[in-house]
Amino acid sequence: MRAAVYKGKQRFEIEEIPTPTTGPEQVLVRVHFCAICGTDVHAFLYDVAPPGTVLGHEFAGDIVEVGSAVTVWKVGDRVIGGGGDPPPGHESPTRTHPRFNYRTMGFPEGSIRGYAEFVLMEEWQPILIPEGISDEEAAMCEPTAVAIHAIRNSDLKLGDSVGIIGAGPIGLLTLQAAKAAGASAVYVSEPAPERARVALELGADAVINPLTQDLQTEIDALTGGRGPNIIFDVAGFPSTLDQAFNIVRHTGQVVLVAVPWEELPLRPVDWMAREISFKASWGSLPSDWHRAMGLMSSGKLTVKPLIGDVESIPLEGMQEAFEGLMKPSNQLQVVVRP
Ligand SMILES: [Zn+2]
């Protein structure tokens, strides 16, 4: 099969590699679409994925082969490449290891995932794509689950105001999830015009350009000088976390959703007196994937504007796409079609 193999030093190569053999309790999934995640871009940018790895965890496809002991799947079932409940002993180390460190323990050597024609999965791993959801939308189930997890992890209560820093795919999904959870108003900070336009289309009450406007002044004007109850940092740039602490309301909460790989300068004296709280939100749980599918099916949350006009790219386009995504980007969601 063909796969985009990470070779180290910010290089992908499109190679012919062996198609995995399906074991008794496994299924083989043909990948139709795999969305490029910010996490993959970080793995590329900081060169932390082990050479030989095939990245890509936001994929949808159909089952083309089932193992002899598989009971729940048949050939032709449309699935998302994750979201299944792990049986005892198979839980993610992220959730079970007491000292899990994503930077040093996050990228297993030699794993073959969605930037390939086929992915081998355990029977319990995938979940079914409901009728009425396209494969391309279904590929966005994981980032949607991340946004839902962030909201559920936060102190958000009905009628709270929310600030979102960064309107990339996860920011735009967090915006919708906040609205669906009953936020009274959602204010977005985003410099890229196309992302700002989609944020407004998806219900943002205001979008502020932090490069041309003073974020604090604008947010103060929108919130009667008090700041939003909760701010989600979905950008993770060196300046944004401190910015979030500075802007959030007295005793409010800052939730970090983006994954910064660099040290961040913070000046706590500027915001400590407001007794704000901080919460990190990490990825998602299988239950969040099911919630994501449910909210997409009911129309409470949509990924269509994120993938709408974007042409999916072949594996050959990945090198260029990743190089583009390393820089501050106007792009929404890039989807690979292996
Ligand atoms: Zn992801």
**For residue 185, what pLDDT is reported?**
98
- Cut 0.75: pTM above it: yes
With H, G, I as helix, E, B as strand and everything else as coil, classify residue 65: strand
- Tell me, in angstroms, the distance from the centre of ligand 1 to residue 273's CA: 35
Domain count across the chain: 2
What confidence tier does 309 reach under pLDDT thresholds 50, 70, 90? low
- Tell me, in angstroms, the distance from the centre of ligand 1 to residue 275's CA: 32
Residue 287 falls within a domain, yes or no? Answer: no
pLDDT tens for each residue of 268-305: 999 999 999 999 999 999 999 999 999 999 999 999 99
Please tell me whether residues 157 and 215 are part of one structural domain: yes
- Residue 83 burial by Cβ neighbours in a 10 Å radius (0-12, 13-18, 19+): buried
Percent of the chain with pLDDT over 70: 99
Over the range 49-68, which residues count as b (16 or more CB within 10 Å of their CB) and which as e?
beeebbbbbbbbbbbbbbbe
pLDDT tens for each residue of 211-222: 999 999 999 999
What confidence tier does 6 reach under pLDDT thresholds 50, 70, 90? very high
pLDDT tens for each residue of 18-57: 999 999 999 999 999 999 998 899 999 999 999 999 999 9
- Tell me, in angstroms, the distance from the centre of ligand 1 to residue 237's CA: 18
- Tell me, in angstroms, the distance from the centre of ligand 1 to residue 25's CA: 26
- Tell me, in angstroms, the distance from the centre of ligand 1 to residue 174's CA: 14
- Tell me, in angstroms, the distance from the centre of ligand 1 to residue 170's CA: 9
Place of tokens 């501050």: 328
* Full domain range(s) for residue 118: 2-140+303-336
CA-only gyration radius of the chain, Å: 20
Please tell me whether residues 172 and 260 are part of one structural domain: yes
Helix 240-247 crosses helix 215-222 at what angle (to 10 degrees)?
30
- Tell me, in angstroms, the distance from the centre of ligand 1 to residue 211's CA: 27
More reliable by pLDDT, 110 or 89 = 89
- Tell me, in angstroms, the distance from the centre of ligand 1 to residue 216's CA: 30
What are the DSSP calls for 113-167, one per residue?
-SSBSEEEEETTS-EEPPTT--HHHHTTHHHHHHHHHHHHHS---TT-EEEEE--
- Tell me, in angstroms, the distance from the centre of ligand 1 to residue 58's CA: 6
Question: Residue 250: which CATH number?
Answer: 3.40.50.720
Residue 254 falls within a domain, yes or no? Answer: yes
Q: What is the pLDDT of the chain when averaged over all its residues?
A: 95
Count of other CB atoms within 10 angstroms of residue 211: 11
Residue 176 falls within a domain, yes or no? Answer: yes
Residue 288 falls within a domain, yes or no? Answer: no
- Tell me, in angstroms, the distance from the centre of ligand 1 to residue 28's CA: 21
